[in-house]
Structure 1
């Protein structure tokens, strides 16, 4: 291969071919992936293909029905058509067992998204026995209909293009398709465009697929795979991996995984990651350009899509989530260096991140609903706003309180209603060589977040959200794999002073226990209150009503909880 060959926007970093040691490590990596069950079976892939074909038949019949009802000619009804195109990990060939299918329905100009897709097609799907968990989200940034078809999860988008008849072999990148379409349609088409461009611009598709499978698995194990929480989703990881493949065109997956961490550990954000130059296009839609667009200047980790209209696919990343990911990249880089030296095995890279041991303090968010279907819709809306909560906490504490939203969800078996629990790790950001000894008050932040949630237009009785502050030693048992807490130290110590370091206000249980211990040891000291330090939540001295729908089974659990009305109640609903 010529050293002048270019992939992407510049020349490769290295065109070196793999050594025998690289090939041996690659064999070990492939074995690890197989042993970890990261590849779907042939039977599962065949079932996915059948579901995609069945869905294609459904949308074709739906469009013909609409064409007939609207009085078009018999010939128009016969020619009427819609097609299903896939994108995301399934289209890229990097999906795993149980993965969902990202699909786009392309329909003619006279079939609308608002009424025909989200109402008529929705009702058709709702009546089918094969369809379950149907959840339309028309207000999303990219409107989507989520459901399971014969047990396979599907995210279905819709794009109405400027043609009366949709050809079966449609090229959605052709200019005739793009004329007279709105921004939401462009966003819906973008997933297919990006997938096609990635496969077109990587030097070796199979090496790309294996490497992407590795990095997605790693990101999920490390708790940083979630676009909704301000980390990175599937398309973001695909673009990062594709860029590394361009920079090392002759590398095999064992090398590409190592180079991935080497590159992004040293990457100077917010310099953008781009697979190809930005295309301005002829349709007038805004593309990512921090020189012209003020909003683009605030992006922390720009990863630019390689298809029109070129935009930042990772605009949800915050300063705090970028810091978390940067630390994980550094950790991955250290382990890969040890693997190359023969001091570690691949399994070390993919160990679970000990999230519930990493922080002293946590914010717990409980989402409850009257029944399982209600919870599905309600939880989807609340989750879509989580990024805003993280951003507001960071802003309202002047960036000194770092939030690590954990993507995993949990179920509290003690609650009588369907529920999901989510957690944020909280830590004080280091300033200079130490951490400022300051408590943080984000009661107002939580209230403002609730206010935005309450504006949800289909809010129903029984749907609610609860916020609680818990320290590590009082985390609920349901977050641990075996239902009980691991043995671990109860307090962190400041490396500089050797004294306990408390990031935010202690939960009431810990506070009481510590006071009793001090009394027993006769070490109570008079401390003058610091006026600059605020309480993290409302004072528990004022009697508050018990939140409806919550039980009071465990009066000893004193984790502070913000109910829907902003009252302070215990985790089980008992008034403090």
Structure 2
């Protein structure tokens, strides 16, 4: 190429010029670029293992030509010590290169130089040398095949791209391209979205493509020389032959047993691209008991004649083989050690993964070194390799400069692993600057501060060679600043005065004596762990290893010639990570009902010394999680446990025998076979839910029992056994299971009930003379005040639910559907076991992962899945068909409502009203209750309150009061049932005393209820509703400021946030006027309590009665006029639909009255029906007189819009009429 013409060409970017270089080489991979200090280093591989290399500043020559004048350190070298050229040929090439540089001007292009050298090689050097056969060991290298022969066999990315683009047999929508960004790693992109570099300003050069996938299967891979698509696979020999080091690239590797070689793992996900919301899989999680070794193995560049590297490396590998740790972090690794390591059989056969840094791969050429991270049976979910700092211009100047003048960038290896599906931890393998670097202490301090300030996760661990000791004050001062968060594990385990932990000890370590200039003993190697979020850890073992000296000549061990394995001792750590503490001070149990207690006690009181510490019980899981009242306890343990229990109906246990465990001298009461079978099934499901609680094989042999005798010796055991005989069986219901706990600091304190969790899909309704309920006098009070739901009312709802469930099951079942599942579940007041007007239910259709075994029913649903409206309508019509076919004669009224989700509303002959909320979930691989409408909302409350029966009584009392005083019902702008439930749940959780036993529940008295009621009104009368949002914060949860909350929390004048995602405001219907009325209602109760005696139990009983007898003050004394709406129709069914339409539009009207008209209003909280049930009245009060209100232009407009809305009712008939009038408060009847 004429260099003059070359310099006058249009200037292109560096990328374009480097691509031009690639065009004259045999492979795109023959141009390699990597960061080197402030420069980029380029290596160009030519034939016969020769390379041209140079450095350039990418910023300064971004738009300049790539010429001799614009690059630094231009040289030609051999790529390896097995270059095929003999000395004469190599000398000839060197002279030609030097002459070429000397005879050209400074603007001579590098492209011309490379072309000239290639031409000279082809014309003037003739070699018939052929590749030698490789030996059996994959890592032992021989000469390779002629490169030109290889390149002819393996097709490039551009050819594969064209093949896919034009081959009509390939579905391009199923093709994925993996390409490499040299700063962030591998990206994947759909074939149809891929843009070449000339097609888009952000297009990708073809040489960056690393692989193609079709239907998730890799069909072409540049690194592995794999080409399934065209059949031109090139897999002769190992990719780690010394001559083929360019094939070994930075990344994660795993040994493929079928190919018998190490294979790079794609895709490489960097930390920045790792989505924390994606749960970790089992193969990316650390074992709970994790065995880690960190070791600086001493590179082989310095005093090589004295440190006997080959013997040391062999011994290090043998030590690692003897330990087989879960994680190995190595520093100062060179390619020579890597070559040995990858050939180790123990590494290949024990399912190890290995992350290899580029500095290790290039060490043979650059005299660099780096780190490795090796993992057994698991891999990182993501990892990154990045510079140690941003000012890495001064490296080790003594040792490294002796070896090479090249500047090597130190790097960090950061890998992220799961601790469970949700929690992760970052492990950092680091090697900080040694004192041989300029300003080493400053650099180390800067690196540490960067970690502690800039790490984007709290869960991380720093591992490796920190290169400073405990007497380096600057570094120690930084550690001291963060000592509350960052823990030095050696200092946690040992007293430094007694065990200083010198991992670098020239006084005892022969290698350290050779490499040390100061001969000072120091603790250079460490494990630092940041305080983990929601994760605990314990140190099982921490020690130095590799401290023994090894013989230099293994065949002559008596000559006293010894050496250490490295100048550093290794650190071995066994750490136990636990996302929850599992403790013998916590148990999940079944408790017999109180009416059986005295009978059981008659057997156990004499022979069971622990009876005072434990109530009589059957263990389900023991030990169990140590619950600390944090948000994660609620979400990850209690909620999951309750959702499992909701799938099991309540049951009974029958005790019919006394038996014994001879091996440990225990006598127990035994269930009958049927009860045992059921409890074992429950235990099996609990273990699947919480496998952490299965601590050993012995605990897997579960035998449910209730201990009544425990003996020190066999003699006492045999004596008691003969006298303990069960004369008659007894039975008790299991409606709850219990979490028992005791304090950690006191073994004499009895276990108490931490949580009472219901069994079955619904809570048992509270009623008179209920077992395991509250004190009988409190039950009598509820009975007298008519607070309990009647048995007839509850049974009617129960019957309707069972009938609907049965008729849906006829159509939607495992025989008719293979790709979908369905569930029909109650929620609302029926699920929580309190008296409510309606039976609220949800029907869920959930799509599973696609299967080939589709039924015709599956096909009909799949065809509609992309049109949500059509699918919703189809499913609702099917449900309607089933309902009409099975229950038509029992139904008075039926209508469909289209809201956010479809709703079916049914009124039965016995006036039972059922609402069916239809929820369809598409593209879910497995059913999940996480988002089932209403279900999770209720279950979070059930687990939060700790004692459901007490919560049910408090909620019933408060709901009844709210209904009596006209502050209940969301549709009228007040609080609905769920909002009141949240408020009551908070009071129970916060102020309910600890339950020492079942007696604490059964003896829950009127006095105790009164205290909760008073606390309820006091708390919420004084809450700052105008500026604060209320939610169920666990005691350890830090409240967010209002400004930090999303807009959804700020809708509504009272913000009572649901504990379930997406954390909607359950009080969103409230406006300022109704909020103020609710607060006044709270204050009204407090004023009442201030005026009456509340000292004796009788006083408190009377106070509770007076609270419930407070009247509805609509309209209140501030109302001056009312707007009264009159609805009429031919029959009650039409009237109900007419009123339902009004309710759906009322919120818009009252909001407009307040926000647009600036009026203060009071809404009526109920509809007044006339005696014939064909006419109804509804009124709204205003604080303006009628004349002023009528003349209010904005109000008139809002009222007209509201009334006009009734003309839009689709089901309106001529008989359905509406009218209104505005009148004075004095005319109110």
**TM-score with structure 2 length normalisation?**
0.31
1:45-60 equivalences under 5 Å are 45-60=794-809
Aligned to 1:212: 955
SS of match in other structure, 1:312: coil
Aligned to 1:348: 1106
Aligned to 1:253: 1009
Aligned partners of 1:247, 1:9: CA distance in 2, in Å?
Answer: 17
Aligned partners of 1:29, 1:440: CA distance in 2, in Å?
Answer: 52
1:202-351 equivalences under 5 Å are 202-250=945-993, 252-269=1008-1025, 270-276=1027-1033, 291=1044, 293-294=1046-1047, 296-337=1049-1090, 338=1092, 340-341=1094-1095, 342=1099, 345-350=1103-1108, 351=1110
Aligned partners of 1:451, 1:301: CA distance in 2, in Å?
Answer: 29
Preserved contact between residue 901 and residue 918 of structure 2 (Cα < 8 Å): no
SS of match in other structure, 2:949: helix
Q: CA deviation at 1:301?
A: 0.9
Aligned partners of 2:1059, 2:793: CA distance in 1, in Å?
Answer: 31
Aligned to 1:147: 906
Aligned to 2:822: 82
Aligned partners of 2:1189, 2:923: CA distance in 1, in Å?
Answer: 63
SS of match in other structure, 1:407: coil
Aligned to 1:422: 1178
Q: Give a deviation string over 1:40-98, Cα, whole Å, max 9, x none.
A: 2334433432322211111112325xx9xxxxxxx5458975322111111111225xx
Q: Give a deviation string over 1:149-204, Cα, whole Å, max 9, x none.
A: 452211111122347999xxx6512xxxxxxxxxxxx5xx2311100111011122
Q: Give ranges in structure 2 of 5+ residues lacking alignment.
A: 1-584, 586-626, 634-773, 848-857, 862-869, 995-1007, 1035-1040
Aligned partners of 1:272, 1:410: CA distance in 2, in Å?
Answer: 34
Aligned partners of 2:950, 2:818: CA distance in 1, in Å?
Answer: 44
Q: Give ranges in structure 1 of 5+ residues lacking alignment.
A: 11-24, 68-74, 174-185, 278-287, 430-435, 476-484, 486-576
Aligned partners of 1:298, 1:306: CA distance in 2, in Å?
Answer: 16
Aligned to 1:480: none
1:60-139 equivalences under 5 Å are 60-63=809-812, 75-77=815-817, 82-95=822-835, 99-109=837-847, 114-126=872-884, 128-138=888-898
Task: Describe the shift of the 1:150–1:59 C-alpha distance in structure 2 as closer, same or farther (beyond 3 A).
Answer: farther
Aligned partners of 2:993, 2:901: CA distance in 1, in Å?
Answer: 36
Aligned partners of 2:1177, 2:1189: CA distance in 1, in Å?
Answer: 30
Aligned to 2:1167: 409
Q: CA deviation at 1:35?
A: 1.2
Aligned to 1:393: 1153
Task: Describe the shift of the 1:6–1:293 C-alpha distance in structure 2 as closer, same or farther (beyond 3 A).
Answer: closer
Aligned partners of 2:923, 2:1131: CA distance in 1, in Å?
Answer: 43
Preserved contact between residue 113 and residue 158 of structure 1 (Cα < 8 Å): no
Task: Describe the shift of the 1:58–1:322 C-alpha distance in structure 2 as closer, same or farther (beyond 3 A).
Answer: same
Task: Describe the shift of the 1:126–1:468 C-alpha distance in structure 2 as closer, same or farther (beyond 3 A).
Answer: farther
Q: CA deviation at 1:100?
A: 1.8
Q: Give a deviation string over 1:253-311, Cα, whole Å, max 9, x none.
A: 3221111100000000141111147xxxxxxxxxx986474464453111111112221
Task: Describe the shift of the 1:440–1:77 C-alpha distance in structure 2 as closer, same or farther (beyond 3 A).
Answer: closer
Preserved contact between residue 1049 and residue 1064 of structure 2 (Cα < 8 Å): no
Aligned partners of 2:1133, 2:1113: CA distance in 1, in Å?
Answer: 32
Aligned partners of 2:907, 2:1155: CA distance in 1, in Å?
Answer: 38
289-298 or 449-458, which deviates more? 289-298
Q: CA deviation at 1:244?
A: 1.4
Aligned to 1:381: 1141
Q: CA deviation at 1:417?
A: 8.9
Aligned partners of 1:339, 1:54: CA distance in 2, in Å?
Answer: 51
Preserved contact between residue 1031 and residue 1056 of structure 2 (Cα < 8 Å): yes
Please state if 1:368 is matched with 2:1128: yes
SS of match in other structure, 1:379: helix
Aligned partners of 1:375, 1:123: CA distance in 2, in Å?
Answer: 25
Task: Describe the shift of the 1:424–1:135 C-alpha distance in structure 2 as closer, same or farther (beyond 3 A).
Answer: same
Preserved contact between residue 901 and residue 919 of structure 2 (Cα < 8 Å): no
SS of match in other structure, 2:1123: strand
Aligned partners of 1:340, 1:141: CA distance in 2, in Å?
Answer: 48
From 1209, 1223, 1226, the equivalent of 1:456 is 1209
Aligned partners of 2:871, 2:1104: CA distance in 1, in Å?
Answer: 46
Task: Describe the shift of the 1:262–1:81 C-alpha distance in structure 2 as closer, same or farther (beyond 3 A).
Answer: same
Q: CA deviation at 1:402?
A: 1.5
Aligned to 1:522: none
Q: CA deviation at 1:397?
A: 2.9
Aligned partners of 1:209, 1:162: CA distance in 2, in Å?
Answer: 36
Please state if 1:474 is matched with 2:1227: yes
SS of match in other structure, 1:317: coil
From 921, 925, 937, the equivalent of 1:194 is 937
Aligned partners of 2:631, 2:777: CA distance in 1, in Å?
Answer: 30
1:6-21 equivalences under 5 Å are 6=629
Q: CA deviation at 1:217?
A: 0.3
Q: CA deviation at 1:439?
A: 7.3
Aligned partners of 1:142, 1:250: CA distance in 2, in Å?
Answer: 41
Aligned partners of 1:348, 1:78: CA distance in 2, in Å?
Answer: 58
How many pairs are equivalent? 412
Preserved contact between residue 876 and residue 902 of structure 2 (Cα < 8 Å): no
Preserved contact between residue 893 and residue 908 of structure 2 (Cα < 8 Å): no
Preserved contact between residue 891 and residue 909 of structure 2 (Cα < 8 Å): yes
Aligned to 2:603: none
Task: Describe the shift of the 1:339–1:405 C-alpha distance in structure 2 as closer, same or farther (beyond 3 A).
Answer: farther
Q: CA deviation at 1:27?
A: 7.1
Task: Describe the shift of the 1:295–1:308 C-alpha distance in structure 2 as closer, same or farther (beyond 3 A).
Answer: closer
Q: Give a deviation string over 1:1-58, Cα, whole Å, max 9, x none.
A: 9xx9647699xxxxxxxxxxxxxx9876643321122212334433432322211111
Task: Describe the shift of the 1:201–1:391 C-alpha distance in structure 2 as closer, same or farther (beyond 3 A).
Answer: same
Aligned partners of 1:448, 1:339: CA distance in 2, in Å?
Answer: 51
31-40 or 318-327, which deviates more? 31-40
SS of match in other structure, 2:988: helix
**TM-score with structure 1 length normalisation?**
0.64
Q: CA deviation at 1:238?
A: 0.5
